[in-house]
Amino acid sequence: MIDQLGVILTTKCNLKCKYCYYNSGIYPTQKMNMDFSKFISFFDRLTKKNPLGQILITGGEPIIVNYLLDLIQYVSSKVPRIMLLTNGTLITKEILTEFIKYNVKLEISLDSVKKDYSDHFRGKHEELLKALKLIINDNYTQDVTLNTTISPGNINEIKDIIDYSKKYGFNLNLNLMDSDDSLSWDKASLDEKNKMLKILQDYYADEKNQYHYKLAKFTLSNTNRGVSKCLFSERSLIVDTDGKIYTCFHNKKVLGEINDEIDEILENHSMFQEKCQNQFNCYRTACYSLF
C-alpha cells in the first residue's frame, strides 16, 4: 500500500544552489508550476482508493507557488502528516502562522551558520537566519528539521550547526554531499573523509544500527548503485510538476500520469515492485536503498 505521496510542486526557485539537481542539469526541465486543479483531482481520486499517511511537498522552492497555503489547507483534512521541504528564505510571519495552524513539518536546508559558505553555494543567508529566528520566537523548532549537507567545503562548520540546533531545539539531519562537482567526496583528502566519518559516528552514536554513519562509509567505498530493494519506493508515489508519476524522486521510471486511472497507476506501482527492482541503477550515491 502507498503510504506517502511526494509532490514536486514547482521547478522554479528563488535561489541557484550550485549543487542542485536542476541547476546542475542532472534533471533538465522547463520552469513551471503544477496545475492546482489537476493535482486536487488526482489527490481526491487517490485518497479514495488508498488513504495516505503523509504528503511531502517540495520543488524547486514550494513557497514560490501562490496556491501553496490553499493546497495545505485542502489536504490537511485527509492526510495526518504534511511535510514541506524548503530553503526557508521566503518564510514570513504570516506564512509561518499558517504552517503552525496546519501543523506542517518543515525541513529547511542549512549548510552553514556563517555567511560566506552559504552565500557562495546557496545565497540569501541573512534571509534564512531571519526565518529561523521567526520559528524560534514562535516555539516551533520541535517541528522543524534542519537538513545539512556535509561537503569537504563545510566540514569544519558542522560542529557549529550541531550546537545551533541543540541550543534552539531544532531537529537535525546530517547528509553526505551527493555530487560529482567540486564538492564531491571523491575529491576529498583522507583526513577530510575520516573527520566527516567521526562527526557522523559521534552525532549518531545512539541511532539504532548507526545508519547515517554506515551509509557514509558505504558511499565512500562503493561505486555500485544497483538497487535490489528500494525501501522508499515500496510505499511512495511521486508526482512531478509536469504530471508524470514516479516511484522515487530520483528514479524516473514513469508509472503513469496525473490524469490516468488510479487503479492503473497502483497496478503499475505493484508491477514495478515485483519485476523492475533489479533493472536500474540509482543516480544517487548516498541512499539507504543502496546498502
- What domains appear along the chain, each with residue ranges and CATH number? 4-290 (3.20.20.70)
Q: Let me know: does 232 contact 241? Beta carbons within 8 Å.
A: no
pLDDT per residue, tens digit, the chain (291 aa), is 899 999 999 999 887 776 665 555 555 566 789 999 999 999 999 999 999 999 999 999 999 999 999 999 999 999 999 999 999 999 999 999 999 999 999 999 999 999 888 888 788 899 999 999 999 999 999 999 999 999 898 999 999 999 999 999 999 999 887 766 667 888 889 999 999 999 999 999 998 888 888 888 888 876 666 666 677 778 899 999 999 999 888 777 899 999 999 999 999 998 887 766 555 666 566 666 665
Instruction: Count other C-beta atoms under 10 Å from residue 94's C-beta.
Output: 8
Report d(CA 129, CA 144) in Å as an integer: 14
d(CA 74, CA 188): 46
Summarised one tens digit per residue, pLDDT across range 25-47 is: 555 566 789 999 999 999 999 99
Residue among 277, 224, 223 at smallest CA distance from 247: 277
CA-derived radius of gyration, the chain = 19
